Structure 1
């Protein structure tokens, strides 16, 4: 449970250890509630219940569970020029991860990457850092960078993993699969990343590429499927169609209302505003289920090799 404790609660516990009390508004946190009501090692001041005070057993508990971690984390943050105050929303686990990043700083800086791959490597979720501005800035400060090298915005660029005479072209919404070149080799496909919404580069596809089958791999959320529809319309102008890759089973569905995700279904529109004619029956059933349950499927969770082989063998 204490993995979810943030710096605000941790600092308050340290104040209780040293000052025997805190005025920090932390009673609503489940872990603090647990220490107050279940373990009974914290209490509320009788004449001011907004003040939390220590009770029997708290000092021993804090020294065993938190003191060393807090002291090390505070020293680490301050040594790296990162504020260690109650306004900081880092969890204790996030600070531990920052410490691991700092330990591997030289190795990490020698190998360019993008924010999705870095986030997935250290926080287990590819989009974890995108909406956590404070945490992302802390990572940048530790690595002495202003952004990840492969996230630099350039006009009309396209990252490609090439193959000689590929069987198909796969356009990816995110970069992660392009960082796994064995996918292209094992399936004999060319992988393209066109920068999410930056699909104008598709206007310049060479004619010799067009006879190949085109597939689109994306997050199955409203944003990803809207981009698919725009790509489909754009390619239609060149008499070219594109096939949406269907997520492999079992589907790893996630709530759209999680911290790192900001694409939500429009429940006021039929099929969330998507055009029914752009999807087959199987795809529509999955989309309708995702909308009904307000869930999505992350592209990085796909087994792309299995999906591609299924598509290519079924042609």
Structure 2
């Protein structure tokens, strides 16, 4: 859903009916409430509520709408032309919260120092290097929340991002940026974190582990295990894959894009321990995956050591 749909549902809750527009006509969420739940109906130019709408809205929509609206108001983003997706707003709230508690300051400094591109920042926060391209309002909001004046507008992905600590005893290369936004625990435990940007591993040809043990943390899905990890292993042969401890999630229910494909032509058994192989096979059979940030990184390290 985008903000127009969210706002329309709130107006329906408050007023009982609203004028319909092209966005609402094409809305999958609105059509679900009309055709499946049968708690909305429409004429040629209006939407109006039916019995049961208020209960469903209060249960499934009201709380998050109030949270989104408060965030947009507090940051002077609530404008008539706003079309942010719900996912966009959730990511922006996360950036705001991480900036507020100081977790993003080391990363922000590196973004400025390394002259990060729009693509790099897009990959960091939206897990897709192309997501922000062409979305000027969203780019400007990200810069506003990060307190950064400009982002480089090239396609250079040669930088890796490092969360340093004073006396590291090992390195963990992360597929995603999330662990680097939580610096306190890893620094307390002398763990240095690297983020190279998912599949963008060519820059690792120039990396120096300084003789430290190095581990790999990733999403346990097709891309993470069958595509990215083997590429990383080619660049850093002594890297070890961490065994996940997060709760598996359904690929379908989470609308995840990395789906298990045929693995006959991609033999990675030699890269996994027997226990890791069992976990992967169970995930494939149940059509599930394990999100990297759902793992307890310190527990994964304790088991490895």
TM-score, scaled to structure 2? 0.62
Match of 1:275 in 2: 268
Match of 1:220 in 2: 220
Shift in Å, 1:260 = 6.7
**Compared CA separation, residues 127 and 298, structure 1 to 2 (3 A):** farther
Structure 1: which 5+ runs fail to align?
A: 115-125
1:301 to 290, 294, 305: 294
**Compared CA separation, residues 308 and 151, structure 1 to 2 (3 A):** farther
Matched-pair contact (CA < 8 Å) for 1:166–1:188? yes
**In structure 1, what is the Cα distance between the partners aligned to 2:166 and 2:95?**
38
Matches within 5 A, 1:110-189: 129-130=126-127, 138-142=137-141, 154-163=156-165, 166-189=168-191
Match of 1:284 in 2: 277
Matched-pair contact (CA < 8 Å) for 2:217–2:241? yes
Aligned residues, how many? 268
TM-score, scaled to structure 1? 0.60
The reply on whether 1:232 has 2:233 as its aligned counterpart is yes
Shift in Å, 1:285 = 1.0
Shift in Å, 1:296 = 1.2
Shift in Å, 1:31 = 3.2
Matched-pair contact (CA < 8 Å) for 1:140–1:147? no
Matched-pair contact (CA < 8 Å) for 1:128–1:260? no
Structure 2: which 5+ runs fail to align?
A: 109-122
Match of 2:31 in 1: 29
**In structure 2, what is the Cα distance between the partners aligned to 1:160 and 1:179?**
11
Matched-pair contact (CA < 8 Å) for 1:183–1:304? no
